[in-house]
Structure 1
Amino acid sequence: MNPSTFNTFLKQLSWKTHSVLSPNIKPSAYVPINLSQTNPQLNTFNIASSSDWEKFIQSYLKSHQAKVAYGGYLEQRNIYKRSGYFNPSSNNMERNIHLGVDFWLDAGEAIYAPLDATIHSFNNNTNYGDYGPTIILKHTIENQVFFTLYGHLSLESIKGIKQGDIIQQGEAFASLGTAEVNGDYAPHLHFQIIRDIADYKGDYPGVCSKKNLDKFKSNCPDPNVLLNL
C-alpha cells in the first residue's frame, strides 16, 4: 500500500477511532500549540529545563482555558539541541524534525488504545531527552498491519505487561510519566504511527534529520489523519 493509499485507509478508520486521551476531555479543552524553532515565545525561558517547560505549558493551557495542548507533526524544534543523543558529529545528521503528535497535559493521565491491538514491544529508553518508558502497539485491520508508538509514559505503564498482550479499543493501558522518568520533559504523550517497524523493539525514531525526512515522512504519516484532531 503506497503512502497516499495508506492515508486514505487511516482517514476511513478515523470515524471509529477512540481518543488516545480520556473521552471525558471535551474537544473544546484541546488547543493547538506551536513548539517549532520559529516561535519567539520559546526564547523567553530556558528550553533545556523541564521545569521551565512545564511552567510554560501550564501557563499556555491556563491562558487558553484548555486542558490539553497538542501538535508538532514535522515541526523543526530547537529543544533537541540540548542532548548529544540527537546531535551526532555530522551536522547534516542533526535530528530535529518531529515525527509524531505531542499531547501536553498532566502527569498521571491515562492513555487509551485508539483501535484494537496487541502489545508489539516496550522498553524504558533512558538516553537524555529520549522517550523514557515506551509502548508500541500492533494493529491488524482489514489485512493491514501498522503500529502506534506511545512515548514518555510512567514506569508503571511497562510493569506487568508482555509482548502479545491483547489491548481492546478504548482500553486505558498506560499513563503519562513525570520529568524524572520521561526523558526529562514536561509531561506529555508522544504519539506516532509507523507503517513498517523493521527490527525495532520498544523504540523507533521520533525525530529525524532533514536529510532523512522523505523516508521517515513516508513511513510515519500524520497522526492527525487518524485521530481527527
Structure 2
Amino acid sequence: MKKFLELLSNTESAKVISKKIDYADYVALDLSVTNVNLSKQKLETSKDYEHYIQEYLDNHQAKIAFGGYHEHRNLYQRSTVFKNQDSDERNIHIGLDLWINESAPIYAALDGTIHSFQNNDSLGDYGPTLILKHQIENFTFHTLYGHLSLNSLEDKKIGNFVKKGQQIANLGLPPINGDYAPHLHFQIIIDMENKVGDYPGVCSTKKLAFYLANCPDPNLLLKIKV
C-alpha cells in the first residue's frame, strides 16, 4: 500500500473538472458536522445548497469549492440510501467533492479504460456514474466520477480506452444528479469488490478503516493546494 500511495503522489497533477479554472480559484469547503456556520443554515433541498455554496464562492472570490474526504456529514439524512437495516448509518464521505453551480466538462484523471457505468437514480445517490480502470506499474485501481449528466452515459462501452485529460462526461444538474447542488464526486477505489457502475462513496464509522484503506485520498491525484 505504501508503494502504491507513493506512485499516486508522484503522478503529475490531474484536472478532472473545468480545466480552464486554475487551482488558485478553488476554495476549501467544510460540510462536516463540526462546521458551526453550516448548522445555522436552513439546508434541506438542492436549491438551498446551491444558494449556500454560491454565496460561499462569492464571499471567497472563488469559482470551485472542494473538499469532503473523510468528512462526517449530516446532509445524507434525507435519503434512505445511506441507512442500513442494522442501523449502521453511513455518513462519512470517502471521496472528494468539487462544487460548481453550473454544468461543466469532466476529464479522466489518468489513462485507463472504462470499467463500468450506470444511472444510480435513487434520491441522494450518485445519479449517472462512470468508473474507469487504471494501472500504474503492477497496481490496478479505479476512479469514480459521480453526479454526471444523463447524456454522459451515452455511447460508452466497457473496455474503451480513455486518455488522461480526455473529456469523458459533463456535470449533472439536479434532480438528475441525485438531487444535489451541482458537484463532481471523485473517488479512488482499489478493490471494486465485484461492484459494477456503483461503489459506496459514504461509509459508516464501523467500516471506516476498510474504506480509508481501499479509497485513498483523491487529492493524491489532483494535488489541489490553496
TM-score calculated relative to the size of structure 2: 0.96
Counterpart in the other structure of 1:12: 10
Q: d(CA) in 2 for partners of 1:145 and 1:172?
A: 22
Q: d(CA) in 2 for partners of 1:175 and 1:41?
A: 31
Counterpart in the other structure of 2:44: 48
Counterpart in the other structure of 2:152: 157
Question: Is the CA contact (8 Å cut-off) linking 1:106 and 1:176 kept in structure 2?
Answer: no
Q: Residue by residue, what CA displacement relative to the aligned partner does 1:87-131 show, whole Å, maximum 9, x if unpaired?
A: 22433x100000000000033200111111111000000111000
2:218 to 214, 223, 229: 223
Q: d(CA) in 1 for partners of 2:135 and 2:85?
A: 39
Counterpart in the other structure of 1:38: 34
Question: Is the CA contact (8 Å cut-off) linking 1:107 and 1:175 kept in structure 2?
Answer: no
TM-score calculated relative to the size of structure 1: 0.94
Q: Does 1:77 align with 2:73?
A: yes
User: Structure 1 runs of 4+ off > 4 angstroms?
Assistant: none
Q: Residue by residue, what CA displacement relative to the aligned partner does 1:47-75 show, whole Å, maximum 9, x if unpaired?
A: 32110000000000011110000000000
Count of residues paired in the alignment: 224
Q: Does 1:112 align with 2:110?
A: no
Question: Is the CA contact (8 Å cut-off) linking 1:152 and 1:176 kept in structure 2?
Answer: yes
Indicate the larger mover: 161-170 or 18-27. 18-27
Counterpart in the other structure of 1:122: 117
Indicate the larger mover: 207-216 or 158-167. 158-167
Q: d(CA) in 2 for partners of 1:117 and 1:78?
A: 34
Counterpart in the other structure of 1:58: 54
1:86 to 82, 86, 89: 82
**Matched-pair identity in %:** 51
Counterpart in the other structure of 1:142: 137
2:20 to 15, 24, 39: 24
Supply the RMSD in Å over aligned alpha carbons.
1.1
Question: Is the CA contact (8 Å cut-off) linking 1:86 and 1:96 kept in structure 2?
Answer: yes
What runs of 5+ residues in structure 1 fail to find an aligned partner?
A: none
Code of the aligned partner of 1:175: N
Counting only pairs closer than 5 Å after superposition, residues 196-207 of structure 1 correspond to structure 2 as 196-207=191-202
Q: Identify the structure with the greater helix proportion.
A: 1
Q: d(CA) in 2 for partners of 1:156 and 1:24?
A: 22
Q: d(CA) in 2 for partners of 1:89 and 1:121?
A: 27
Q: d(CA) in 2 for partners of 1:54 and 1:216?
A: 29
Question: Is the CA contact (8 Å cut-off) linking 1:154 and 1:175 kept in structure 2?
Answer: yes
Q: Residue by residue, what CA displacement relative to the aligned partner does 1:122-149 show, whole Å, maximum 9, x if unpaired?
A: 0000111000000000012223211000
Q: Residue by residue, what CA displacement relative to the aligned partner does 1:181-217 show, whole Å, maximum 9, x if unpaired?
A: 0001000000000011121111000000000001111
**Partner SS state of residue 10, structure 2:** helix
Question: Is the CA contact (8 Å cut-off) linking 1:126 and 1:183 kept in structure 2?
Answer: yes
1:24 is displaced (CA, Å) by 1.3
**Partner SS state of residue 177, structure 1:** coil
Question: Is the CA contact (8 Å cut-off) linking 2:117 and 2:131 kept in structure 1?
Answer: yes
Code of the aligned partner of 1:5: K
**Partner SS state of residue 52, structure 1:** helix
